[in-house]
Structure 1
Amino acid sequence: MTTPVLPPEGGGSAAQRADSAEFPTRSSVRRAEAAAAAAASGRRGSASSVPAARRVLRSELVARRAAEHHASTTAAAVPATRSRLSVRRSVVSVTVMTVTAGLFGTVALPAFALDQDDPATSEAAAAAAVTDARVAGGQTLAVDAAVTGVDATRADWSATSQATLDAAAAAAAQALAAQQQAAQASAAAAASSSASSSASSAGTGSGSSRSMATEAIASSGSTGQAAVYQAALQYVGTPYVFGGATPAGFDCSGFVMYVYAKFGVSLPHSVGSQAALGTTISASEARPGDVVVFNDGSHDGFYAGNGMILDAPKPGGYVSVRPLWSSAVHYVRYAV
Structure 2
Amino acid sequence: MPETTTSSRPATGSVAAQAKKKRKGGWILNAGVITVATGLIATMSLPAFAFNPADAQGTAFGPSAADSMKKAQSQTVEVGGVAASAVNRDAASATTQEQLDAQKAAVAAAAAAEAARRQAAVQLATYATQSSTGPSVSDFLANPPYPNFSLSQVFSVAQQYIGTPYVYGGASPAGFDCSGYVMYVYAQFGINLPHSVSGQAAMGKRISIADAQPGDLVIMSGHDGFYAGNGNIMDAPDTGRSISIRPIWTSDYYIVRLGI
Structure with more contact order per residue of length (Cα contacts < 8 Å, sep ≥ 6) = 2
TM-score (norm 1): 0.34
Q: Which has the larger radius of gyration?
A: 1
TM-score (norm 2): 0.44
